[in-house]
């Protein structure tokens, strides 16, 4: 089993407008832990930095500062080319994440071969079929031979999940895995992820803008606003008892079937955007407001304390 | 595939109290491809004056095709194979939309029935100001002096909650939500009696979406136009619509008031759609037991 | 944006905005007949996506190109010696000499067949060389990004603004005639013609590189060369094919121009050298049309054939062109059908 400790993760993007160079801080000192069998949800609007965090965790981009420590149960650090065997991702758009040119078999077989899970064609094929069956793609033999355009959106996303799990991944980053799917199949895919998590003891990071599914499918929720965590805590506490203005605004704006005819009555969400303060965070675990600077210091201190022990060899990710 | 025992006449229940503004009867739209596909099959609905009618369904169910066909904006290979679309004007005259010639149809389109598309905010011309683009629409359809046109443009922008000073802005200077508001303003310019909105808020963040929905409901109350609101987001429709039509595989399988549809959905597909949206504030995990992960539910879609 | 695979989300963009069409994909997939084994039939389906659909234009192009290629490949074995001199100089077409003779009594048809072969050789050679160069600088640079991309892009920009024909003339004039062989000319032509393709390929690669499936394959640990060759390249094949065809046309025309100026390959006979000798032999003033019209016509027809093929390849690169064509055809069919029912009434 693998877990991930993220400490004060920060990412700056350089923006060039003419001769001037500006930096935009997409992610600012975000810390959280991903542990087996638990799901952490990152909730926020577009531009809140949640997809950047996914890219940093999967190493598609390098963080400007901060640490991502991945380690096994016995605290052996995971680094180098083995990293991808442990941390995998499911992309948002199933229409874009599968190569139209290749068969389904290719998509699932490649990670198996790259990470030496199988060693010959016959065992690879058998394993591919087994993986497809695990994600409820039936008949797996025939689906393996098809191409992405012959499958529906939900089926494609199941293939993407199979591909992510093929190397034996223990940490799964799901970046809006159902937002591009038809509504009636979304829960099916989420429930599938839930079952695989239980069976494989996965640590899952669920990135979404949908508060309702975040609440039902995760244990802990982090609400992101402009790159910073503004509220964090157990899923029910964050959604049912929001403290931060921004979380309240999101909760009121989300359509809720139990609030019929409420478009005008759903309370006043008109908190001015500029009035939202993202330098403080409400931590339901502590039951208190924490400033971003204090939170960053505390996270650094915790990691440093842990690092003096057997975790001293943990990998340092540099920008 | 599930079929309804018999087509539900919309008038049977929940008839709009007021005189309808649009009547669609048995509209059938066929895509003439190698194996013709019936995208809309015998769709019938009546749109009351000042009513918000929700049209719910998933991708490929024909809801967009239906909306386009009503306005005859459909393009080949789509073809209207049968049925009628009648517009009941404020002054009492009836217009058969399917029989209109090109020129009267062009005049009818924006002035009586306007549309807001899903990606509409990206269809603004990037190199011209918002004001100039509003002005174009007015010039094409109405005889007004320059000053009148400017006043009217400023007026509609104010109505949708955008500062009239933005008339001089270029689209890229506005946020996505703001641009979508401009598109709604453009659709309202000529005070149409019907507005068809196809997923007008899907590409927007929830908070912005909420603000725009509020604006639409408020404008409807003020100006008394009818709205056909198309989306896959059933909870959203439940909140804003008077009545909701649920489409499945080209057919309207259920049409009822939002309230009744929510409390006692008749069609199994409606129940399934409703069950697909976990409640934000309801009991935790209650829906997970219903939401099957079996692949069967997906394949059952026609 | 290009998409080689037919996407399930069928959207027809028109002035009225996107029109949602029922997606044939999933439905069609659901009732696909069971495929035995599931491995044997795979590659064909992928290649089929890359093949243009047959149209009258494509058919005409293929026939023209096939005709010229046949002339160049089979012709030389059928016709006699192109250099054999007879005593019937500058005679018009006859039973003995189908395309007449030159000033020195050589058979024009025999010369034409050999010259066509020479031109095709040079076209093919340049096409391959230019495509390889443009693929390397365009695709590899764009995939690497950063400094390599900037450098490769600068290089192709420099080559792009060099005026091609004058440079070719200078280089060809610089190389002494005796060492100016087929290869020299081919290399010179390739060096001056790869840059434009490289830019097109770079743009395409940049767009493909940012797609999720490329990120996904990097994420699964694929090596860079495999990502390029297996994930990116297949999606660029239509563009590559189109650029190749274009390079062949340009090379044949360019070589003809050089040879006509007397700067061509010394050891090869091409359509250009044929025109050069016709010009020197005063074919035009003497009214010997059979001497200069055939080579000119072969060049023109071959160029036309390749262009027609290229239009069809363009349809794969940009499916919108195809959609427009299909829509036009259906509209015509609908009109005809409507006309018939009117008559029937």
Cβ B278–A259 below 8 Å, yes or no?
A: no
Q: Report the sign of the C-alpha dihedral through residues B215, B217, B223, B226, in that order.
A: positive
Evaluate if residue B230 carries a pLDDT over 80: yes
What does the angle CA A216 – CA A217 – CA A222 come to, to the nearest 5 degrees?
95
Asked if residue C256 belongs to a domain, the reply is yes
Confidence at residue B299, expressed as pLDDT on a 0 to 100 scale: 38
Min Cα distance C293 → chain A (Å) is 46
Closest CA in chain A for residue C212: A97
Q: Which of C250, C274, C242 is nearest to C186 (CA)?
A: C250
**Domain for residue C302, yes or no?**
yes
Residue C87 lies in a domain: no
B57 touches chain C (CB under 8 A): no
Q: For residue A298, give how far its alpha carbon lies from the nearest alpha carbon of chain B (Å).
A: 32
User: Which tens digit of pLDDT belongs to each residue from B5-43?
Assistant: 444 444 434 444 567 888 888 888 888 776 778 888 888
In chain B, % of residues over pLDDT 90: 0
pTM of the model: 0.77
CB spacing of A167 vs C7 below 8 angstroms: no
B105 or A274, greater pLDDT: B105
Say whether pLDDT at B159 is over 60: yes
Q: Looking at the complex, report in whole angstroms how far the Cα of residue C58 sits from the nearest Cα belonging to chain B.
A: 21
Residue B40 tokens, joined: 């809309």
Nearest to A152 among C26, C211, C234 (CB): C26
Percent of chain A residues topping a pLDDT of 70: 89
Quote the pLDDT of residue C343: 56
Residues of chain C contacting B299 with CB distance shorter than 8 Å: 30
pLDDT of A50 reads: 86
Q: Using DSSP, state whether A144 is helix, strand or coil.
A: helix
Identify which of C315, C325, C321 has the alpha carbon closest to the alpha carbon of residue C242. Answer: C315
Task: Report the SS3 class of residue A47.
Answer: coil
* C21 contacts in chain B (CB < 8 Å): 31, 37, 39, 65, 78
Contact A257 B259 (CB under 8 A): no
Taken in order A238, A242, A246, A247, is the CA torsion positive or negative? positive
Give B62→chain A minimum CA distance, Å. Answer: 14
On average, the pLDDT of chain B sits at 78
pLDDT-based confidence at A41, cuts 50/70/90? very high
Mutate to test the interface with A, among B221, B298, B299, B300 (most CBs of A within 10 A): B298
Chains touching chain C through at least 3 C-beta pairs below 8 angstroms are A, B
pLDDT of res. A270: 52
Tell me if the bond preceding B77 is cis, omega within 30° of 0: yes
Chain C residue closest in CA terms to A107: C217
Residue contact B236–A190, C-beta within 8 A: no
* Percentage of residues in chain A having pLDDT higher than 90: 26
Q: Is C14's Cβ below 8 Å from some Cβ in B?
A: yes
Counting Cβ atoms within 10 Å, is residue A307 exposed (0-12), middle (13-18) or buried (19+)? middle
Asked whether residue C204 is assigned to any structural domain, the reply reads yes
Q: Which positions in chain B touch A254 (Cβ < 8 Å)? A: 206, 280
Q: Which subunits count as partners of chain A given 3+ CB pairs below 8 Å?
A: B, C
Rounded to an integer, the average pLDDT of B97-114 is 81
Do the domain assignments include residue C9?
Answer: no
What phi, psi does B100 have (nearest 5°)? -65, 145
Q: Is A121 exposed, middle or buried (0-12, 13-18, 19+ CB in 10 A)?
A: exposed
Give the count of domains, chain C. 1
Residue C280 in 3-state DSSP? helix
The answer, yes or no, to whether residue A156 has pLDDT greater than 60, is yes
pLDDT at C46 over 60: no
pLDDT digits (tens, 9 = 90+) for B128-143: 888 888 888 888 877 7
Q: From A139, which residue of chain B is nearest by alpha-carbon distance?
A: B295
Q: Per residue in B48-75, pLDDT tens?
A: 888 888 888 888 788 888 888 888 887 7
Residues in A touching C45 (Cβ below 8 Å):
147
pLDDT score, position C322:
64
User: Does residue A96 belong to the interface with chain C, where contact is any CB pair within 8 Å?
Assistant: yes
Q: What is the pLDDT of residue C49?
A: 57
Residues 52-71 of A with CB under 8 A from C: 58, 60
Asked which of A211-220, B253-262, C329-338 is least confident by mean pLDDT, the reply is: C329-338
State the pLDDT confidence band at A128, using cuts at 50, 70 and 90.
very high
Q: Do B32 and C17 touch (CB under 8 A)?
A: no
The answer to whether residue C80 sits within a structural domain is no
With 0-12 / 13-18 / 19 or more C-beta atoms within 10 angstroms meaning exposed / middle / buried, residue B101 is exposed
Contact yes or no for A187 and B294 at CB 8 A: no
Instruction: State chain A's mean pLDDT as an integer.
Output: 84
Chain B residues in contact with C330 (beta carbon < 8 A): 32, 76-77
Buried b (16+ CB within 10 A) or exposed e, A78-97: bbeeebbbbbbbbbbbbbbb
Residue B286, min C-alpha distance to chain C (Å):
30
What is the domain extent for residue C200?
109-345
Residues of A in contact with C42 (CB under 8 A): 103, 105, 145
pLDDT at C23 over 50: no
Q: What is the pLDDT of residue A222?
A: 93
Contact state of B240 with A250 under an 8 Å Cβ cutoff: no
Q: Which residue has the higher pLDDT, B207 or A111?
A: A111
DSSP labels, C224-252: HHHIIIIIIHHHHHHHHHHHHHHHHHHHH
CATH number reported for the structural domain that contains residue C138 in this entry: 1.10.3720.10
Q: Is the pLDDT of residue A220 over 90?
A: yes
Least CB–CB distance from B58: residue in A183, A216, A249: A183
ipTM of the modeled complex: 0.82
Confidence bin at A162 (pLDDT 50/70/90)? very high
Query: Does A28 or B159 have the greater pLDDT score?
Result: A28
Chain B residue with the nearest C-alpha to that of A47: B205
Chain A residues with CB under 8 Å of B279 CB are 212, 256-258
**Residues B204-214: b if buried by 16+ CB within 10 A, e if exposed:** bbbbbbbbbbb
Least confident of B150-159, C94-103, C221-230: C94-103
Q: Identify which of C30, C330, C334 has the shortest CB distance to residue B299.
A: C30
What is the least distance, in Å, from the CA of C111 to any CA of chain A?
Answer: 46
C89 in any annotated domain:
no
Contacts of A96 in chain C (CB under 8 A): 211-213
Residues pairing with A34 in the sheet = A4
Query: Is A239 an interface residue toward B (CB < 8 Å)?
Result: yes
Of A189, A194, A211, Cβ closest to residue B280: A211
Q: Please state the rounded mean pLDDT for residues A248-254.
A: 84
Phi then psi for residue C72, to 5 deg, are -75, -30
Whether residue A142 has pLDDT greater than 60: yes
Could you tell me the CA-to-CA distances from C175 to A311, B10, B67, B137, C181 in Å, in that order? 69, 86, 70, 66, 10
Query: pLDDT tens digits, residue range B185-216?
Result: 888 888 888 888 888 877 777 887 888 888 88
Measured between CB atoms, does C22 come within 8 Å of chain A? Answer: no
If DSSP states are collapsed to H, E and C, what string results for B182-206? Answer: HHHHHHHCCCCCEEEEECCCCCCCH
Is B63 in Cβ contact with C20 (below 8 Å)?
A: yes
**What's residue B6's pLDDT?**
43
Q: Does the distance separating the beta carbons of A257 and B279 come in below 8 Å?
A: yes
C-alpha atoms less than 13 angstroms from C-alpha of C7 in its C-beta half-sphere: 21
**CA B250 – CA B214 distance, rounded (Å):** 30
Q: Name the pLDDT band for A307 (thresholds 50, 70, 90).
A: low
Q: Does B79 touch chain C (CB under 8 A)?
A: yes
Mean pLDDT of B143-162: 84
Binary contact (C219, A58; C-beta < 8 A)? yes
Under a CB-based contact definition with an 8 Å cutoff, are residues A151 and C25 in contact? yes
Query: CB–CB of B280 and A258 under 8 A?
Result: yes
The kind and range of the H/E element at B92 are none
pLDDT at A74: 81
Of C6, C26, C219, the CB nearest to A89: C219
Q: Does A116 touch chain C (CB under 8 A)?
A: no
Give CA–CA dist B60/C25, Å, rounded: 11
Please give the pLDDT value at position C318: 66
- Kindly tell me if the per-residue pLDDT of A265 is higher than 70: no
The shortest CB-CB distance from A264 to any of B214, B235, B274 is to: B214
Q: Is C43 among the domain residues?
A: no
Chain C environment of A88 (Cβ under 8 Å):
219-220
Which residue from A115, A142, A153 is facing C34, i.e. has the nearest CB?
A142
Confidence bin at C260 (pLDDT 50/70/90): confident
Residue in B60, B75, B120 closest to C19 by CB: B75
Q: What's the average model confidence in pLDDT over B94-111?
A: 80
């Amino acid at each position: 089993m693998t877990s991930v400790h993220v400490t004060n993760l920060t990412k700056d993007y350089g923006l060039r407008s003419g001769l001037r160079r500006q930096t935009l801080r997409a992610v600012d000192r975000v810390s959280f832990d991903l542990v087996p069998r638990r799901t952490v949800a990152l909730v926020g609007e577009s531009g809140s930095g949640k997809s950047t965090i996914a890219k940093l965790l999967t190493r598609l981009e390098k963080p400007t500062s901060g640490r991502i420590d991945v380690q096994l149960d016995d605290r052996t650090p995971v680094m180098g080319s083995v990293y991808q065997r442990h941390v995998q991702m499911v992309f948002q758009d199933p229409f874009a994440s599968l190569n139209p040119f290749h068969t389904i078999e290719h998509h699932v077989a490649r990670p198996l071969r790259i990470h030496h899970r199988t060693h010959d064609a016959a065992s690879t094929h058998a394993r591919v079929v087994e993986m497809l069956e695990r994600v409820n793609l039936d008949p797996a033999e025939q689906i393996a031979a098809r191409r992405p355009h012959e499958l529906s959106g939900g089926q494609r996303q199941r293939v993407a999940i199979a591909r992510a799990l093929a190397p034996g991944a223990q940490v799964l980053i799901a970046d809006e895995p159902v937002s591009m799917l038809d509504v009636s199949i979304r829960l099916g895919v989420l429930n599938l992820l839930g079952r695989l998590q239980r069976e494989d003891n996965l640590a899952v990071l669920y990135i979404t803008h949908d508060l309702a599914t975040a609440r039902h499918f995760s244990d802990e929720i982090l609400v992101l606003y402009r790159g910073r965590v503004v509220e964090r805590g157990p899923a029910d506490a964050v959604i049912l008892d929001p403290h931060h203005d921004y979380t309240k605004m999101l909760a009121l704006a989300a359509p809720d079937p139990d609030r019929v005819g409420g478009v005008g009555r759903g309370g006043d969400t008109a908190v001015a955007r500029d009035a939202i303060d993202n330098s403080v965070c409400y931590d339901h675990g502590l039951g208190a407001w924490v400033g971003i600077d204090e939170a960053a210091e505390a996270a650094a201190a915790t990691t440093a304390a842990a690092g003096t022990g057997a975790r001293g060899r943990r990998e340092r990710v540099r920008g | 595939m599930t079929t309804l025992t018999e087509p539900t006449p919309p008038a049977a229940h929940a008839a709009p109290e007021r005189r309808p503004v649009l009547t669609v009867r048995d509209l059938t739209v066929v895509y003439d491809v190698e194996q013709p596909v019936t995208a809309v099959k015998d769709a019938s609905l009546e749109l009351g004056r000042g009513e918000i009618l929700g049209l719910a369904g998933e991708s490929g169910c024909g809801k967009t095709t239906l909306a386009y066909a009503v306005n005859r904006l459909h393009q080949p290979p789509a073809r209207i194979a049968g049925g009628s679309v009648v517009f009941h004007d404020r002054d009492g005259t009836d217009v058969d939309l399917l029989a209109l010639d090109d020129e009267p149809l062009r005049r009818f389109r924006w002035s009586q029935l306007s549309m807001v598309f899903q990606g509409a905010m990206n269809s603004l011309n990037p190199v011209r100001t918002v004001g100039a683009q509003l002005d174009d629409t007015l010039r094409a359809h109405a005889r007004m002096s320059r000053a009148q046109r400017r006043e009217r443009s400023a007026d509609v922008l104010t109505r949708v909650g955008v500062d009239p000073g933005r008339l001089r802005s270029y689209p890229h200077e506005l946020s996505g939500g703001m641009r979508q508001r401009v598109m709604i303003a453009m659709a309202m310019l000529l005070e149409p009696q019907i507005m068809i909105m196809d997923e007008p808020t899907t590409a927007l963040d929830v908070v912005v979406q909420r603000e725009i929905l509020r604006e639409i409901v408020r404008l409807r109350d003020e100006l008394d136009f009818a709205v056909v609101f198309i989306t896959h987001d059933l909870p959203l429709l439940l909140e804003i619509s008077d009545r909701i039509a649920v489409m499945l595989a080209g057919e309207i399988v259920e049409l009822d008031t939002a309230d009744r549809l929510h409390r006692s959905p008749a069609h199994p597909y409606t129940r399934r759609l409703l069950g697909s949206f976990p409640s934000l504030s309801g009991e935790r995990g209650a829906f997970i037991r219903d939401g099957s992960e079996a692949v069967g539910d997906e394949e059952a879609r026609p | 944006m290009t998409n080689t695979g037919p996407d399930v989300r069928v959207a027809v963009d028109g002035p009225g905005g996107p029109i949602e069409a029922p997606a044939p994909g999933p439905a069609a997939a659901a009732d696909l007949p069971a495929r035995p084994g599931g491995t044997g039939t795979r590659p064909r389906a992928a290649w089929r996506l890359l093949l243009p659909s047959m149209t009258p234009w494509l058919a005409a192009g293929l026939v023209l190109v096939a005709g010229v290629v046949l002339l160049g490949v089979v012709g030389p074995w059928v016709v006699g010696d192109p250099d054999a001199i007879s005593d019937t100089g500058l005679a018009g077409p006859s039973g003995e000499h189908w395309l007449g003779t030159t000033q020195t009594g050589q058979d024009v048809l025999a010369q034409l067949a050999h010259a066509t072969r020479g031109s095709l050789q040079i076209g093919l050679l340049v096409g391959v060389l230019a495509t390889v160069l443009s693929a390397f600088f365009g695709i590899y640079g764009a995939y690497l990004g950063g400094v390599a991309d900037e450098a490769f892009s600068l290089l192709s920009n420099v080559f792009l603004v060099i005026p091609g024909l004058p440079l070719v003339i200078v280089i060809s004039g610089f190389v002494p005639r005796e060492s100016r062989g087929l290869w020299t000319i081919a290399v010179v032509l390739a060096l001056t013609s790869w840059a434009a393709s490289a830019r097109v390929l770079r743009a395409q690669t940049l767009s493909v590189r940012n797609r999720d499936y490329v990120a996904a394959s990097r994420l699964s640990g694929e090596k860079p060369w495999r990502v390029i060759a297996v994930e990116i390249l297949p999606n660029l094949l239509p563009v590559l094919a189109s650029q190749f065809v274009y390079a062949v046309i340009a090379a044949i025309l360019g070589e003809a121009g050089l040879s006509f100026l007397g700067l061509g390959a010394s050891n090869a006979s091409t359509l250009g050298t044929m025109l050069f000798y016709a010009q020197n032999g005063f074919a035009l003033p003497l009214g010997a049309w059979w001497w200069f019209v055939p080579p000119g016509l072969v060049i023109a027809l071959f160029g036309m054939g390749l262009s027609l093929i290229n239009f069809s390849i363009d349809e794969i690169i940009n499916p919108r062109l195809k959609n427009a064509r299909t829509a036009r055809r259906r509209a015509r069919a609908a009109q005809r059908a409507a006309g018939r029912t009117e008559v029937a009434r």
